[in-house]
Amino acid sequence: MSQEGQLLDQKSLRAVTGKTADWNEIAKDCIAFANATGGRLLLGVEDGHDAPPAGQHIPADLPDTLRRKLAERTVNVAVLPDVVTAPNGGQYIELRIPRALAVASTTDGRYFLRVADQSKPVTGDDVMRLASERSALPWETQTTLHIPRVEADAAKRNKLLQALRASDRVKASVKEKTDDEVLDHYQLAQGHDLTNLGVLCLGRQHHRAQLTTSPVIQFIKYDEHGQKVNKLVWDDHTQSPMDLIEAVWLEVPDFRERYELPDGLYRQNVPAFDEIVVRELLVNALVHRPYTQRGDIFLNLHPDRLEVVNPGPLPLGVTPQNVLHTTVRRNEHLARLFHDLKLMEREGSGFDKIFEVLLSQGRPAPDLIETHDRVQVTVRRRILKPEVIDFIAKADQTYHLTQRERISLGLLAQHDAMTARELATVLELPAVEALQPWLKRLLEWGLVQSAGRTQATRYFVDPGLLRTLNFVGGTTLKRIESHRLLALIVEDVGRYPGTKIGDIHQRVGIEIPRSRVRRAVEQLVKEGKLSQEGVRSGTRYRLT
């Protein structure tokens, strides 16, 4: 089973049975899913569990009760309950909620929307946004232009089909489909006609121009006085969104500017704007823009920064304060196509990647500003601390950092110190307690140090460590991954054949529990990678 998120939630069976039944809460979740892209409620599976309690039984009348109770409390919501038996013998109800054909609400006029793993209320002006953004038929799947699929641009069609069949993100069953079936699968065509999405990606120039909201990109370069010195425009509708990304990157020479930083006796070249960052910004602008609203995408290049301006506000439910942790797809089918073409990460990790790359290069985090009619993302050119580049690279090489750890380490390396509250605010976390997965291992390894307690705790990177990069690799061994420990033992025994387990323990890492080393050695013997001779304390090991 999947973890809770945008498309799935789990509830205890107590939520729909007996005196503890909370039908209003279940109705709220169903409305939220119906107003988003649909989803599933697993009733009878506790939060954080992968299966229902063994032996759990679903009352025979509960599915009909669900239909009746939810119909009494909701408007424009359809529910499809099925009783499922898990491998452990326990039963649960899989309640499927399709995307509503019209805006869903409670019978007393309250609205909700699924945002990440929460069902959020929609109030005030956002109710009108929900109604206007969410038509019964998504813009992507409409066929109002009635352009036959046989009139698609053959070169673009073949290129797209070839890329999809070569992608390791596309299921084998999809690759086996015929060309027309693949187009239907990705909502690029319906019946004899291309959908709006199909016209956008496969149409000819005059077809794409008929969409009226086909994306136009303007690149404008300014000097230090704010005067325009260069302008490039992609407005002839000859290129699909996928082609536009490549064209902008290749045709703007400023994006490939590099400058040198001292690196001991040598010098290293650093890009003025990282390719990953530029491409992610372009992908976000193209995939998440409202295609029912006109407006150009602007790339405003100043001497010290790049601004990417996209028409329309952020998708409903996403704000500049939660963008790192919230996933809402305004154009579901375009996002799926970009994901399968390996142009983006579908689960909303694009902005996380921008944070990670910028901070690991010693640059400030991106600035995100939203107004009623546009979204602007600003990335800075200047490197605040050049030493952060080598620091993050060496730390990642030594400790194999996660994305969260690279982001938090990059933030702290750029600042003298940050309090727990300040760090939680920058990382858009609800409370300082949520910092643990971001900092726990960094503190254990000594990469980050702390002083104080609770919200006043100060986190910082030792300036001496940042300057000398004198990491002590052994500090990682206490929590070393199992596969790395096995590899270290094999390497050690290869260098010292006929060695005792105590000597292996000393050389591999005394801070690792001896019992864990012993279990690893026994596993290697069982797998045939090591052989043993002697008994008890005299046992010695060598490579097979």
Tokens of residue 205, six digits:
């120039």
pLDDT in tens, 29-47: 999 999 888 899 999 998 8
Q: What are phi and psi of 26, to 5 degrees?
A: -65, -40
CA distance 237 to 244: 10
- Whether the predicted model's global pTM rises above the 0.85 cut: no
Where are the chain's structural domains?
A: 8-133, 140-210, 218-380, 387-473, 480-543
CA distance 99 to 31: 9
Which amino acid, residue 496?
A: Y
CATH class of domain segment(s) 218-380: alpha beta
pLDDT of residue 361: 85
Nearest to 442 by CA among 487, 388, 395, 474: 395
pLDDT of residue 481: 64
Q: Is residue 362 within 8 Å of residue 386, measured between CB atoms?
A: yes
> Based on the number of CB atoms within 10 Å of its own CB, is 529 exposed (0-12), middle (13-18) or buried (19 or more)?
middle
Residue 525's SS3 state is helix
Tokens of residue 512, six digits:
């690792």
pLDDT of residue 338: 92
Are 387-473 and 480-543 equal in CATH topology? Answer: yes
Q: Give the E-state strand segments of 489-536 in sequence order.
A: 530-533
CATH class of domain segment(s) 8-133: alpha beta
CATH class of domain segment(s) 387-473: mainly alpha
pLDDT in tens, 69-108: 999 999 999 999 999 999 999 999 999 999 888 889 999 9
Tokens of residue 422, six digits:
């300040």
The 3-state secondary structure of 145-205 reads CCCEHHHCCHHHHHHHHHHHHHCCCCCHHHHCCCHHHHHHHCCCEECCEECHHHHHHHCCH
Residue ranges of the chain whose pLDDT lies below 50: 1-2, 265, 473-476
**Whose structure tokens read 């790359």?**
357
CA distance 12 to 83: 14
Q: Is residue 481 within 8 Å of residue 521, measured between CB atoms?
A: no
CA distance 343 to 245: 9
Tokens of residue 289, six digits:
């823009």
> Based on the number of CB atoms within 10 Å of its own CB, is 527 exposed (0-12), middle (13-18) or buried (19 or more)?
exposed
CA distance 423 to 442: 14
Instruction: Report residue 324 CA to chain centroid gap.
Output: 9
One CATH from 3.10.20.90, 2.60.40.10, 1.10.10.10, 3.40.640.10 for 480-543:
1.10.10.10
